[in-house]
C-alpha cells in the first residue's frame, strides 16, 4: 500500500527528506501502470540564504530502464530559503513495473554571491504490493 520509509541526506547544510507512497487508486496493474507520489521536505540548515533553481531526476524501473528528468524549479516554484526555513512539495511518477527507485539533485545558488552548488536527493524506493510482477 504505502512505504513507511523516509530517506534523508544533507549536502552543504541543505537537508532533503523524501517519503514515497504507492497510489493504488491511480494505478492499473493490468495495464502495467504503477503510480507513486513522493513528498519532499527541503530544509536550509546552513548559514546562508539559498535558492533552488533547477532539478534533475533519474527514475529507474525494475527492468533497469532509466528516465532522466531535468527542468526549472520544483512544481513550478524556485523557492528561496533563509537559514532555518524549509520548503515542502508533493509530486508523483508512473512506472511500467511494480517497483523502481528515484535519485536526483537540486541545482541551487547562494543568493548573496550567486555561487552555484548541487544538493543530493537521496535514492528512494518505489515499492508496490505487486512486487512479484504477477497480474491477477
- Is residue 2 scored above 70 in pLDDT? no
Note the pLDDT of residue 5: 77
Nearest-angstrom CA–CA distance, 120 and 88? 16
- Nearest CA to 77 out of 58, 50, 54 is that of 54
Residue 69 lies in a domain: yes
> Tell me: the pLDDT tens digits for 19-52?
999 999 999 999 999 999 999 999 999 999 999 9
Residue 121 lies in a domain: yes
Residue 133 lies in a domain: no
Nearest-angstrom CA–CA distance, 31 and 25? 13
Cβ contact 106:118 at 8 Å: yes
CATH number at residue 18: 2.60.40.1470
Residue 65 lies in a domain: yes
Query: Which structural domain, as residue segments, surrounds residue 89?
Result: 2-127
Residue 136 lies in a domain: no
Number of independent structural domains in the chain: 1
Amino acid at each position: 500500500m504505502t512505504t513507511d520509509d523516509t530517506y534523508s541526506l544533507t549536502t552543504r547544510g541543505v537537508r532533503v527528506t523524501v517519503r514515497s507512497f504507492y497510489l493504488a487508486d491511480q494505478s492499473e496493474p493490468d495495464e502495467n501502470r504503477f503510480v507513486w507520489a513522493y513528498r519532499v521536505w527541503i530544509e536550509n540548515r546552513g548559514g546562508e540564504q539559498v535558492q533552488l533553481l533547477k532539478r534533475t531526476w533519474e527514475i529507474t524501473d525494475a527492468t533497469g530502464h532509466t528516465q532522466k528528468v531535468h527542468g526549472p524549479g520544483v512544481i513550478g516554484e524556485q523557492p528561496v530559503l533563509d537559514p532555518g526555513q524549509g520548503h515542502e512539495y508533493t509530486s508523483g511518477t508512473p512506472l511500467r513495473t511494480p517497483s523502481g527507485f528515484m535519485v536526483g539533485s537540486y541545482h541551487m545558488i547562494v543568493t548573496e554571491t550567486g555561487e552555484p552548488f548541487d544538493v543530493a536527493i537521496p535514492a528512494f524506493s518505489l515499492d508496490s504490493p505487486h512486487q512479484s510482477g504477477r497480474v491477477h
